[in-house]
């Protein structure tokens, strides 16, 4: 099954937003130790979008700009690039340089640029860009990690408690099983079972499963076999998490809410739908939803979640 670059866009953005601290500690541990995670962080999507428009760089993938705090109390802006193109991009290092200096110029903020390369070209590892003219030199040097390199450290990944070890394993096995659907099914089952064995919380298990499921796509008939094995595994472990996820789960949950016709059933279906489609971002709407008194209004919200992939539409409905 061919995997397109766009297939990596949304899951990487989502997993970055949910587990930024784990991301930094896994890929850039030296930098992570210099940041004060107790102060939290803020994603600066509007600021990055403005820079992209100004630079006329076209569509970008999982690039994130984040405001954090250093352990010495200073503000820090970190620009994270996830390069998800199937082919190497000759202008990637130049783009890193452009992003960096345009953010510095527009917002007067020093920026740390970090790159994660998810392509399959082992020798492509850009980490700098510079030019010189008449004795004047300008440029940037930035930390880079290559996901392909982790294939040689797979046993270490198995032992890691960091959720990004699972993320990297899913990425590696997605690439390795590009033309091997049965092999992909076996690895997908292995990774999902590990989520249970690691004792992740329900929401973490769902978030990580969604990433795995999004990357490791299977043909319909093999996908059905995958779900059947997951259902059997859940029955053995008495942990019904994953069968409530994605397409099968959302249909099952919403149907249960309709059949029960009770407020609790509707709320359960809404929570399930929000979790499946929008992760923890969607769950932030639950306090407002639970405060809604009329069941017919809850039914409208439930149907809206079923029909829409835009969280803003759900938020607008609750106004």
What is the tens place of the pLDDT at every residue in 203-249?
788 888 888 888 888 898 898 888 888 888 877 877 665 554 444 44
Report yes or no: 103 and 68 within 8 Å, Cβ to Cβ. Answer: no
What pLDDT digit, counting tens, does each position of 22-75 carry?
Answer: 999 999 999 999 999 998 888 887 787 777 766 555 445 567 888 888 898 888
Per-residue pLDDT at 227: 84
Element (H, E) at 289: helix 286-290
Residue that has been written with the tokens 């990297």 in this structure: 168
**Residues 276, 260: Cα–Cα separation, whole Å:** 21
**Residues 5, 2: Cα–Cα separation, whole Å:** 10
Using the predicted structure, report yes or no on whether residue 282 has a pLDDT greater than 50: yes
Report yes or no: 114 and 143 within 8 Å, Cβ to Cβ. Answer: yes
- Report the percentage of the chain scoring pLDDT > 70: 82
Report yes or no: 41 and 67 within 8 Å, Cβ to Cβ. Answer: yes
Backbone angles phi, psi at 39, to 5 degrees: -85, -5
Using the predicted structure, report yes or no on whether residue 180 has a pLDDT greater than 90: yes
Backbone angles phi, psi at 67, to 5 degrees: -95, 120
Residue that has been written with the tokens 């089952």 in this structure: 189
């Amino acid at each position: 099954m061919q995997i397109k670059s766009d297939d990596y866009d949304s899951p990487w953005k989502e997993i970055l937003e949910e587990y930024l601290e784990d991301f930094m500690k896994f890929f850039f541990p030296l930098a992570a130790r210099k940041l004060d995670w107790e102060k939290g962080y803020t994603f600066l999507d509007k600021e990055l979008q403005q820079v992209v428009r100004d630079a006329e760089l076209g569509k970008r993938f999982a690039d994130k700009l984040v405001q954090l705090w250093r352990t010495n109390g200073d503000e820090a802006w970190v620009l994270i690039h996830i390069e998800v193109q199937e082919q190497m991009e000759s202008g990637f290092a130049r783009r890193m340089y452009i992003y960096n200096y345009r953010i510095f110029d527009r917002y007067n903020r020093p920026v740390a640029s970090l790159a994660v390369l998810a392509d399959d070209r082992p020798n492509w590892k850009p980490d700098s860009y510079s030019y010189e003219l008449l004795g004047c030199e300008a440029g940037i040097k930035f930390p880079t990690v290559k996901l392909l390199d982790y294939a040689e450290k797979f046993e270490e990944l198995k032992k890691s408690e960091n959720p990004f070890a699972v993320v990297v394993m899913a990425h590696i096995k997605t690439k390795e099983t590009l033309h091997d659907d049965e092999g992909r099914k076996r690895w997908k089952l292995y990774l999902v079972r590990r989520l249970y064995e690691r004792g992740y919380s329900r929401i973490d298990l769902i978030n990580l499963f969604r990433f795995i499921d999004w990357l490791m796509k299977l043909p319909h008939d093999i996908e059905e076999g995958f779900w059947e094995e997951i259902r059997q595994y859940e029955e053995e472990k008495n942990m019904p998490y994953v069968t409530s996820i994605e397409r099968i789960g959302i249909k099952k949950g919403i149907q249960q809410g309709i059949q029960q016709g009770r407020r609790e059933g509707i709320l359960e279906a809404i929570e399930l739908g929000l979790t499946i489609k929008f992760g923890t971002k969607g769950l932030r709407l639950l306090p407002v939803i639970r405060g809604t008194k009329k069941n017919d209004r809850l039914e409208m919200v439930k149907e809206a979640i079923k029909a829409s992939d835009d969280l803003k539409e759900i938020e607008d409905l609750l106004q």
